[in-house]
Structures are given as C-alpha cells and as structure tokens.
Amino acid sequence: MYTIPTLASLSYGSHGKSIADQIDRDQFEREGYFIVNDILAKDEINGAVALIDQLLPPDAQPPYVCGTGAEMNGRKALRGEHCEPRLSNLAGHPRLVEAAEMLMGSGVRICHTSCPVVTYKSPPGAEQFGTSDHVDWPHTPPEPGDETYVNCVLHFSTVEPGGGAFIVRPGSHRFVQECLDDPELREQVVAQGFKEMDGLQERRAMCVPAGSAVFSHAFMVHDRSENVLEAPRRVLFAHFARRETDEPVEDRSSAFHPDQVRSMDDRMKRLCGIPEG
C-alpha cells in the first residue's frame, strides 16, 4: 500500500502556482473565505486518499466513526479519540501553513488534532436533508480573540457540483461579529439560531480541485451539503490561531492525540505549541 511521505519531506513535492502569487488578503477579509490551490502535490493526494479509504470505507462503523448511514447522510469522520498521524500532521504542511500565515498576517498555531472526513453518496432514504447553517466557535460562548481564528478544509478529492461541497455564506463573519456586539442578538447567534435571521448572503458551494484548501474566518456561517454523486468527498479539517513571535511557550500537548504527539518533529511541535525534545 502507498505510504504518505513523512512530514519532513512534504515541502519537496511537485506543486503548482506559488502561495504568494495566489493570496489576496483583502478578499479574505472582505468575503471571510479564500481558496488556495496546489497545496498538495499529486503523490501527497494519492497517499492521503489511500489512508482515508482504508480508515473510513463506506461500511465503516463505530467506535472509529462518528455518524453512520442515514444519520449523517453518508458523512463519516474519524472520531477524536482515534488518530492517524500521517493525516493529522498534514495540518502542518509547509504550503498550508504558509497560506494560513499570509491570510492571517501573523504566525500561526495549530489548535488541536485534525480529523479526516469523507462524504459518500447519501444512502437511500436519507436524501434531501435540511440546511443547518452554523458557526464552529473556537470557544462556547465566544471569547475575546476568537475573531482572529481561521478554519481550513484541505481537499484530497475534486468536488463537483452535487458532490457534498462545503457551503459558505460570504461576508457572514462580519454579520456574526455585529450580532455578538448586540446584547439582543448575541444569545441567538451563539445558540446557532441563523435560520430565523435575515441579513445573510446566498449560500455558496466550494467546488474545488483536489489539493486545494478552503480557509474561512472562525465566525463564518457555513454548512455541509448532500453528496448525490458516486465520487466520495475526502477532506481534512484544520484549525489555526494567531501565534505571536514573543508568545510564551506553554505545553499544549493535551490538545493533541498522544499518537500524533509522538509522531511530531520539532517543527510540528512548535506549530502546535508543544515543547521540543
């Protein structure tokens, strides 16, 4: 079976357009999301796909999987108490980190172990599920500084229309911030009550090529969508926070799966806020 390259070798793959040539920070701040292509090289994509297909096949069941069958409409995710470091460590891919740093305008810290997710075609009887617009709060309730966090969906598969794309509401991060500043609306948005709210732009599906990453503001209102195609959608969710150069080092090992910590090199430990050595 194909073995994904080690983290130390990931920067040597054959990639496309440079990160610097793609980044438009003004667009990211205005829209609340940004797509960066060519994060992963072809061999890195192939390696990740092989691992995901091994870990999360169509018939995967608990305890390794959360959400099965009709419950999650074909969506299967590796549970947090399990880990595949060769996938989770891709959150530290040099090109992914470079893109995150350029969009955030600072150094970055990986927040916790990243989890792979695959969305298969919805099983019979589970089609046409309802929308569920929500925000992945860094903390609940939100804390000062949460507005600086950035989430990321790293794609190992090309997503065509109808293929279970990640859905965003452009500009909704500003709408959410305004609601959080309003005592009458704050409770409603923290409780994810977006269905009853006006002011959100139309939903936009992130149909992107394999190897790309969709970065989104932590306050972005988003949703999952149904996969009506035969091709599975394979992704990795990663979460980044700002890291200042003079930030004191504290041991954040507890935020990461022990298997991942044992697999980390010194560079990955620095990215995660874990003492080296």
Q: What is the C-alpha separation between 13 and 17, in angstroms, rounded?
A: 13
pLDDT at residue 81 in the model: 78
Contacts of 118 (CB under 8 A, 6+ apart): 52, 53, 56, 75, 76, 77, 232, 233, 234, 235
For residue 14, the model assigns a pLDDT of 56
**pLDDT at residue number 62:** 72
Strands 167-168 and 75-78: unpaired
State the chain's maximal CA–CA distance in angstroms: 56
Compute CA 15 distance to the chain's CA centroid, rounded to the nearest angstrom: 20
Amino acid symbol at 251 = D
Chain CA centroid to CA 28, Å: 16
Give residue-wise pLDDT tens across range 176-204. Answer: 999 999 999 999 999 999 988 998 999 99
Report pLDDT for 7. 41
Looking at the DSSP bridge assignments, the partners of residue 237 are 115, 153
Segments of 39-177 assigned E as strands: 65-66, 75-78, 107-110, 115-119, 150-155, 167-168
Q: How far apart are CA 192 and CA 195, in angstroms?
A: 8
Query: What's the pTM value of the predicted model, to 2 decimals?
Result: 0.91
pLDDT of residue 70: 43
For residue 73, the model assigns a pLDDT of 72
Query: What distance in Å separates the CA atoms of residue 80 and residue 66, rounded to the nearest whole number?
Result: 9
* 105: three-class secondary structure by DSSP: coil
- Render 18-59 in DSSP notation, one character per residue: -HHHH--HHHHHHHSEEEE---S-HHHHHHHHHHHHHHS-TT
* Beta carbons of 112 and 236 less than 8 angstroms apart: no
In whole angstroms, give the CA distance from residue 113 to residue 254. 10
DSSP label of 67: S
As to burial, measured by CB atoms within 10 angstroms (0-12 exposed, 13-18 middle, 19+ buried), residue 214 is buried
pLDDT tens digit string along 98-131? 999 999 999 999 999 999 999 999 887 766 667 7
Per-residue model confidence (pLDDT) at position 27: 97
For residues 147 and 219, is the Cβ–Cβ distance under 8 A? yes
| Ranges in the chain, pLDDT < 50 | 1-13, 68-70
Residue 15 has a pLDDT of 67
What's the Cα-to-Cα distance from 246 to each of 72, 150, 243, rounded to whole Å? 43, 20, 8
At residue 90, the pLDDT reads 97
